[in-house]
Amino acid sequence: MKKLQDIFLLFKRHLKKALRTPIWLFIGLSQPVLYLLLYMPLLKNMGATSLLPTAEIVRVFVPGMLVIMGMGSLFAGFSFIDEIRQGIISRWLVTPTGRVGLILSLVMNQLLTLFLQSCILLIIALFFGLHVSLVGIILTLVLILFIGITMSSFSYAISLSVKDEGILASITNTFYLPMMLLSGIMLPISFAPNWIKNMALFNPFYYAVEASRCLFAADYGNIMVVKGFAVMIAFTLLSLWLAVRALNKMAV
């Protein structure tokens, strides 16, 4: 119980810091909203998608936008590096909270922001004709939060290893764009040529996007839902382990 209290205290500290600059909540939301406003209407007149009603296009497009926001947690480490440089993290290491608790307090702050952003995006999508069951929305949000944990933990692990914003930017930008494009966020991978389809199979976020679309379609028994959750849970555990391992190395 004491450890949980310590984690919650650190979480409140991170939350207060984030609330000092609430503009970042809307900056993180701006990219998917712009895609929703400026890109999605183009799909109405594009090939086979022109046969789909607007509400159906929204149902296919919005899950990808939610995944984009989850993947955006990969940039969480930039503000973290400044705290490493100031020696704040070193002081945390001598507290009784524990390494796992320190990482969880950081991740929880990212998850709260991601959850709020996702809810705002879903509300905006309702005005475009989105119709999704409550069960589909809840399960999709759970999946998006797993993505948030994965990406923020990876970001913290990299930050603890490189301790430099320039190197972190190079690493994140190198991997972010290919992962995004090969996940079928903009358009289903089924529209792509075979070589892209084969490459997408090695991208964990492809399974997350496909699972989200199945959930939005109320196709809960689809095997892609199982694969999506299984893959993201595995990567969540791996990323948390890497973040804790990096923190332990810093303490040595």
- pLDDT band, residue 14 (cuts 50/70/90): low
Residues whose CB falls within 8 Å of the CB of residue 45, separated by 6 or more in sequence, listed in order: none
The pLDDT of residue 48 is 47
Encode pLDDT of 205-220 as tens digits: 999 999 999 999 999 9
The pLDDT of residue 181 is 85
SS3 150: helix
Return d(Cα 98, Cα 54) in angstroms, integer: 50
Closest CA to 71 of 210, 205, 191, 182: 205
Closest CA to 167 of 177, 179, 155, 178: 155
Q: Model's pTM, two decimal places?
A: 0.86
* Mean local confidence (pLDDT), 214-243: 94
Q: C-alpha distances in angstroms, 239 versus 13, 110, 156, 244? A: 23, 14, 9, 9
The pLDDT of residue 55 is 65
Encode pLDDT of 26-76 as tens digits: 666 677 777 777 777 666 655 444 455 666 778 888 898 899 889 988 888
Which amino acid is it at 144?
I
